[in-house]
Amino acid sequence: MASTLEALERWVNEVAALTRPAQIHWCDGSEDEYRTLVQQMLADGTLIELNQQTHPGCYLHRSHPSDVARVEHLTLVCHPNQEDTGPNNHWMDPAEAHAKMDALFAGCMEGRTMYVIPYCMGPIDSPLSRCGVEITDSPYVVANMKIMTRMGKAAQERIEREGLLSDGVFVKGLHSTGELDPDRRFIMHFPEERTIKSYGSGYGGNALLGKKCHALRIASNQARDEGWLAEHMLIVGIENPRGETHYIAAAFPSACGKTNLAMLIPPEGYRRDGWKVWTVGDDICWMRPGADGRLYAINPEAGFFGVAPGTSDSSNPNALKSIARDTIFTNVAVTADNQPWWEGLPGTPVTDWQGRPYDPANGPAAHPNSRFTVSAKQCPTWSPKAEDAQGVPISAIVFGGRRPSLLPLVMEARDWTHGVLMGAAMGSETTAAATGAVGVLRRDSMAMKPFAGYHYGDYFAHWLSFDRPGARLPKIYHVNWFRKGRDGKFLWPGFGDNLRVLEWMINRVEGKVSGVETPIGTLPATGELKLDGLAIDPATMDELLTMDRAGWQAELAAIGDYLDGFAPRLPAALRAEQQRVAGALGDMPREAATA
Ligand SMILES: Nc1nc2c(ncn2[C@@H]2O[C@H](COP(=O)(O)OP(=O)(O)OP(=O)(O)O)[C@@H](O)[C@H]2O)c(=O)[nH]1
Ligand SMILES: O=C([O-])CC(=O)C(=O)O
Ligand SMILES: [Mn+2]
């Protein structure tokens, strides 16, 4: 058996023969290497220096105006058997996909440097971590990968060590920015080969291959094969005044509040009482059962690639503190004194995200999906446990989305199967994180619609399989911070006040409150949600916490139709669970049934 280093070198040589770069640079992940790349990008205009007095080490990157978000219609999963890809993914035959991509990659790096980036997703010494190597011609990608992953020498050493166990275990990712021509842009995944090929985009989710491509689409396949879960979830630790910490993992679709919840600041009264919040991850969670039957989670990432607009001292002061230095901003606006700016910050922009003089007639100054890339270590609430090789034990799993109506502020699943149904039934209004219309309600099971790298039916079955003898599974919840009143305004204040809802969950986990059982799940009983210091009237709380039976009967029927779209691979247990809940809700009133 060839060593992994030989396999890696062979692949790098093959790629070089195809792409024909002028030189090859193996990344060591050092600070020196990062500084050199930044200097080079400042010189060629890829990066623009921001105000170094107010924002030391901060730079701005302006992408091509057509390359600002993930492109789901150009993102494909190429299983040899199309059936395995599922209706939730776009598919192409692997041989055809390789031919198409290799034609794009042929000669694409001529005259340029090809970077080889060995990286480790997760703590370098964790058995839960997995490694990959990304080859790219973009120094912007290298700089972002340096912040977002454990990249360079240590990762390469781990890859070489793992070679003693098996050949070629690392995920192979090939990326080129190409011509940024939307007609020559594809993000292709080959799950069986643990391979990714991405061409024609420099945007984060399309180009930083460790993130969505590896840590979700390929890793969901690895996780299914190896008995763990790769999820689009934040991980947050909630420490009570007695010093006990519960870890919660929460899946919300893109731009629906993961970063905000992961870094939340407790409301005044909670702070006084000694509650603390610890950030472990803001986007991706890998978890597996430990020897004690509980689920243990790691954050495979080392940084945050966060949504800038809306990030402010009132919404997310921890994020704002994190990005005061050593941050790469992409597609934000700038002020007269060259500070980064976006909607939600004080001050006024003079230059918009495209570098034009700011004119409100052109739309927002910062692109709605403008982002910051920053090391997680800069977050004031960064948890020391985030480096723990064993991961953190998960007490509760939370699903949620943008639902302007019907979905209550919080509900608890009666058991694991019901919780999996809650996750599978998730819906949310679309956001600017992907190209396409914004604000359209779509089903987004477990917030993984764009990221589950195989058939959703099989994915639901994999979730259900964790409920087995000896398992001590977390409780499962569904939340909705985005319920709107008749005036179109959010009913719930959200952000820091979401801790009130998390505390109720923890009280449930500890058996301290009983809640009210309803057909859709357990809701907080009157008085169980701590609301002191909050200006919210009882009628609003009522609206947030009552079950609209007719609305739910129609919702359950719609969930049933949606699930049927995954037949014949839909687990019978999940369809039965949907029927159980529908049955508990009673017969649909005649008007709703015929509507
Ligand atoms: N109303 C309301 N808005 C929120 C809340 N939490 C977050 N938001 C808004 O949701 C948007 C995106 O939030 P993020 O926390 O960046 O979303 P994310 O889930 O981390 O997104 P990705 O990085 O795309 O996966 C921002 O505009 C926030 O202001 C909340 O509790 N209530
Ligand atoms: O993947 C990206 O580019 C950013 C992100 O977290 C998401 O869209 O969910
Ligand atoms: Mn995300």
The ligand minimizing its distance to the Cα of 258 is 1
Q: pLDDT class for 2, splitting at 50, 70, 90?
A: low
Smallest CA-to-CA distance from 524 within 549, 539, 545 is with: 545
Local structure of 264: helix, strand or coil: coil
**pLDDT tens digit sequence for 164-192:** 665 558 999 999 999 999 999 999 999 99
Is the pLDDT score of 428 beyond 50?
Answer: yes
User: Which CATH number does the domain housing residue 355 bear?
Assistant: 2.170.8.10
- Contact at 8 Å (CB) between 69 and 435? yes
Same domain membership, residue 346 and residue 290: no
The residues placing their C-beta within 5 Å of ligand 3, an ion, are 254, 283
**Annotated binding-site residue numbers for Mn(2+):** 212, 232, 283
Count of domains forming the chain: 3
Q: How far apart are CA 293 and CA 88, in angstroms?
A: 31
The ligand minimizing its distance to the Cα of 234 is 1
Q: How far is the CA of 307 from the centre of ligand 3 (A)?
A: 9
Same domain membership, residue 33 and residue 125: yes
Q: How far is the CA of 316 from the centre of ligand 1 (A)?
A: 10
Mutation pick for ligand 1 pocket among 301, 307, 479 (CB with most ligand atoms within 8 Å):
307
Domain-located, residue 55: no
CB-CB neighbours of 5 under 10 Å:
12
Looking at the DSSP assignment, which residues form a beta bridge with residue 235? 249, 281
Q: How far apart are CA 551 and CA 71, in angstroms?
A: 33
Domain-located, residue 394: yes
Q: How far apart are CA 223 and CA 230, in angstroms?
A: 6
What's the longest Cα–Cα distance across the chain? Answer: 71
Residue 16 makes CB contacts below 8 A (sequence gap 6+) with 24, 114
Beta strand pairing call for 328-330 and 59-61: parallel
Q: pLDDT class for 593, splitting at 50, 70, 90?
A: very low
What pLDDT does residue 1 have?
54
Same domain membership, residue 490 and residue 369: no
Domain-located, residue 63: no
Q: How far apart are CA 574 and CA 581, in angstroms?
A: 11
Q: What are the b/e assignments for 272-286, b being 16+ CB within 10 Å? A: eeebbbbbbbbbbbb
Smallest CA-to-CA distance from 333 within 357, 351, 356 is with: 351
Q: How far is the CA of 423 from the centre of ligand 1 (A)?
A: 19
Atom of ligand 2 nearest to the CA of 232: 9
Atom of ligand 2 nearest to the CA of 203: 3
Q: Which domain holds residue 341?
A: 303-378
Local structure of 216: helix, strand or coil: helix
Name the residue at shortest CA distance from atom 7 of ligand 2: 254
Same domain membership, residue 289 and residue 395: yes
Atom of ligand 2 nearest to the CA of 433: 8
The ligand minimizing its distance to the Cα of 434 is 2
Cα dihedral 276, 278, 283, 289 in deg (nearest 10): -110
- Contact at 8 Å (CB) between 457 and 450? no
Output the pTM of the full model: 0.97
Task: Give me the mean pLDDT over the 215-234 stretch.
Answer: 97
Is the pLDDT score of 592 beyond 60?
Answer: no
3-state secondary structure labels for all residues of 419-460: HHHHHHCCEEECCCCECCCCCCEEECHHHCCCCCCCCHHHHH
Domain-located, residue 449: yes
Q: How far is the CA of 3 from the centre of ligand 2 (A)?
A: 34
Q: pLDDT class for 349, splitting at 50, 70, 90?
A: very high
The token pair at 265 is 């600041």
Ligand 1: residues within 6 Å at CB?
Answer: 252, 254-260, 282-283, 306-307, 309-310, 315, 433, 481-482, 490, 494-495, 498
Smallest CA-to-CA distance from 552 within 577, 582, 590, 573 is with: 582
Same domain membership, residue 243 and residue 219: no
Name the residue at shortest CA distance from atom 26 of ligand 1: 310
Domain-located, residue 145: yes
Q: How far apart are CA 339 and CA 49, in angstroms?
A: 10
For ligand 2, is residue 211 a contact (CB within 6 Å)?
yes
Residue at a domain's end among 342, 357, 378: 378
The ligand minimizing its distance to the Cα of 281 is 1
Domain-located, residue 404: yes
Same domain membership, residue 581 and residue 530: yes
Same domain membership, residue 269 and residue 195: no
Torsional sign, CA 157, 163, 165, 168: positive
- Contact at 8 Å (CB) between 527 and 500? no
Mutation pick for ligand 2 pocket among 63, 70, 304 (CB with most ligand atoms within 8 Å):
70
What pLDDT does residue 504 have?
98
**Annotated binding-site residue numbers for GTP:** 255-260, 371, 402, 495-498
Q: How far is the CA of 323 from the centre of ligand 2 (A)?
A: 18
**pLDDT tens digit sequence for 37-92:** 999 999 999 999 999 999 999 999 999 999 999 999 999 999 999 999 999 999 99
Task: Give me the mean pLDDT over the 499-523 stretch.
Answer: 98
Smallest CA-to-CA distance from 426 within 88, 187, 191 is with: 88
347: left (phi over 0), alpha (psi -120 to 50) or beta: left
Same domain membership, residue 258 and residue 131: no
Task: Give me the mean pLDDT over the 98-116 stretch.
Answer: 98
**Given 78, 256, 285, 379, the catalytic residue:** 256
Q: How far apart are CA 259 and CA 234, in angstroms?
A: 7
Long-range contacts of 114-117 (CB under 8 A, 24+ apart): 114/15, 114/16, 114/19, 114/21, 114/23, 114/24, 114/25, 115/25, 115/27, 115/139, 115/141, 115/142, 116/12, 116/24, 116/25, 116/26, 116/27, 117/27, 117/141, 117/142, 117/145, 117/151, 117/152
Task: Return the DSSP state at 233.
Answer: E
Name the residue at shortest CA distance from atom 16 of ligand 1: 307
Task: Give me the mean pLDDT over the 445-452 stretch.
Answer: 98
ipTM: 0.99
Instruction: Please confirm, yes or no, whether 379 is among the known catalytic residues.
Output: no
